[in-house]
Amino acid sequence: SYLFCSTKLGVDSSYNKLGYYKEAFSSDELRVKRLFEAAQERKLPLMQVKSHLNLAVLVDLASRRDTVGVVLVDNRILMGVSQTVGGNDGGADTVSCAESNGIGGYNGGSLLEGNGFSDSTTSSFLPDGGSDIDKSRSIVSAVSTASINSSYAGHYVILCGVSRDQKHLREARNRLPDDGDDESNYCMVLKNPGIWKETEYVTPARFEKSWRANGTDEDVVFISNHRD
């Protein structure tokens, strides 16, 4: 089963100012509207979040043995890419070679407020992590030399779970220069199709900032494989 959650069940017209969406905004707007209309007619599981989906809810669901989340993030923030080469909405930033295309979106109602963390140390979806990585190599291989006139770069990652393993926490805090300031006792476990590394460990602060960035509508699809 699955559930699509977002702050907007539709298209945010302000995104036509983001270079990432600008070139094909008109055609994408019509396409996305039709898709949402079709989904609602078929009564597919969509949930509109009025304010923000609490990060604790995301962590709780991703910690379960049978659940993962497909999350739309701003890859510039996730990968710490800040160098710009010009542009009309904040700069043309280098973006992921696995960037998503088109408009996603959704606006409004509160969801599962008050859920706490799972007691599990690491989700069962957590694969065997790789060895220590060269952080600069990870970032360079995660972005392409292609540029777009945008201050946003949409990208989908799979949230496999959370980890409280000390080795994974160290890796998350050492991933980018300012990640060491996050003193959370857990980190997010990601499958990122835009990088060479099999598994990424990311601080909650870094993950949340990239997920809540302007342009994402905080989209997330929860997928659960129920077992009898």
Residue 119, Cβ density class (10 Å: 0-12 exposed, 13-18 middle, ≥19 buried): exposed
Specify the pLDDT at position 101: 35
What's the token pair of residue 227?
């077992």
Beta-ladder partners of 94: 147
Helix count and strand count (H, E) for the chain: 7, 9
**Beta carbons within 8 Å of 167's beta carbon, 6+ residues apart:** 129
d(C-alpha 10, C-alpha 3), whole Å:
16
Per cent of the chain over pLDDT 70 is: 68
Specify the pLDDT at position 93: 38
**Residue in this structure with the two tokens 């970032």, named with its chain if needed:** 139
- pLDDT above 90: residue 184: yes
What's the token pair of residue 166?
């000390």
Beta-ladder partners of 3: 222
d(C-alpha 163, C-alpha 186), whole Å:
5
Specify the pLDDT at position 103: 35
Look at 14-18, 43-47, 177-181 and tell me which has the smallest mean pLDDT. 14-18
Say whether 46 sits in a helix, a strand or coil.
Answer: strand
Q: b/e for 44-76, b at 16 or more Cβ within 10 A?
A: eeebbbeeebbeebbbbbbbbeebbbbbbbbbb
Q: pLDDT tens digit string along 155-170? A: 999 999 999 999 999 9
Q: pLDDT tens digit string along 66-113? A: 899 999 999 999 998 864 434 444 434 333 333 333 333 322 222 222
Specify the pLDDT at position 113: 27
Confidence of residue 115 (pLDDT cuts 50, 70, 90): very low
d(C-alpha 140, C-alpha 89), whole Å:
24
User: What is the value of pTM for the model shown?
Assistant: 0.70
Q: What number is the average pLDDT over the span 20-31?
A: 76
What's the token pair of residue 214?
């302007």
First to last CA, the chain: 13
Confidence of residue 139 (pLDDT cuts 50, 70, 90): very low
Question: What DSSP designation does 102 have?
Answer: S
Sign of CA dihedral 73, 80, 58, 107: negative
Specify the pLDDT at position 210: 96
d(C-alpha 175, C-alpha 204), whole Å:
12
Query: At 121, which amino acid appears?
Result: T
